[in-house]
């Protein structure tokens, strides 16, 4: 008799767990379906939205042939990253993220990827500002250097060019 009570209790617990699992699954599916219905009309037009592609094209069009480009804002950087690396647009541009130039691994990576630009060694006593100025001065005679902001590290010689500023 005790054994039968144990199995009865056990089966009631199993039934309760199963009922709870089914209830949670139904609630989850309901939330997902309602969310999809509510948001589809808002999100559907995004399939044909080309705003980011146009931004990337406009930024890349602002760079003269063989220019060196730095972007530091997420929206413009992600747009151009996609156009440059995935769509292979403007392979003549050298895409360099200036703040990473202070790291040895990044300078080595750039030397391998872009052997045609000058990547000076970083003297141990040099500040990042002086190194960036050295990088600019080493390359500006053969390539235009562009940034989406007037780079505050090297403040002189910036002029507007399209959506960018040119050193």
Spell out the SS3 assignment of the chain: CHHHHHHHHHHHHHHHHHHHHHHHHHHHHHHHHHHHHHHHHHHHHHHHCCHHHHHHHHHHHCCCCCCEEECCCHHHHHHHHHHHHHCCCCCCCEECCHHHHHCHHHHHHHHHHCCCCCCCCCCCCCCHHHHHHHHHHHHCCCCCEEECCCCCCCCCCCEEECCEEEC
**Residue 148 confidence (pLDDT):** 92
Cα 30 to Cα 36: distance, rounded to the nearest angstrom: 10
Q: What are phi and psi of 61, to 5 degrees?
A: -70, -20
Cα 120 to Cα 78: distance, rounded to the nearest angstrom: 27
The reply to whether the predicted model has a pTM over 0.95 is no
**Residue 7 confidence (pLDDT):** 58
**Residue 13 confidence (pLDDT):** 75
**Residue 6 confidence (pLDDT):** 57
**Residue 119 confidence (pLDDT):** 95
pLDDT tens series, the chain, 167 aa? 555 665 556 677 777 888 889 999 999 999 999 998 888 878 788 888 999 999 999 999 999 999 999 998 999 999 999 999 999 999 999 999 999 998 999 999 999 999 999 999 887 777 888 899 999 999 999 999 999 988 777 877 899 999 999 99
> Is residue 146 within 8 Å of 161, Cβ to Cβ?
yes
**Residue 3 confidence (pLDDT):** 57
């Amino acid at each position: 008799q005790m054994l039968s009570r144990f199995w009865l209790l056990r089966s009631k617990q199993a039934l309760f767990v199963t009922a709870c699992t089914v209830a949670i699954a139904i609630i989850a599916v309901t939330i997902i379906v309602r969310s999809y219905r509510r948001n589809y009309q808002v999100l559907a037009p995004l399939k044909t939205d080309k705003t980011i592609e146009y931004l990337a094209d406009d930024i890349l069009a602002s760079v003269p042939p063989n220019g060196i480009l730095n972007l530091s804002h997420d929206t413009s950087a992600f747009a151009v990253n996609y156009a440059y690396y995935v769509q292979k647009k403007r392979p003549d541009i050298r895409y360099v993220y200036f703040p990473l130039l202070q790291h040895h691994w990044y300078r080595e990576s750039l030397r391998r990827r872009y052997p045609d630009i000058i990547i000076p060694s970083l003297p141990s006593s040099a500040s990042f500002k002086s190194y960036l100025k050295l990088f600019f001065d080493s390359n500006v005679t053969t390539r235009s250097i562009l940034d989406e902001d007037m780079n505050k590290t090297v403040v002189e010689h910036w002029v507007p060019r399209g959506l960018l500023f040119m050193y």
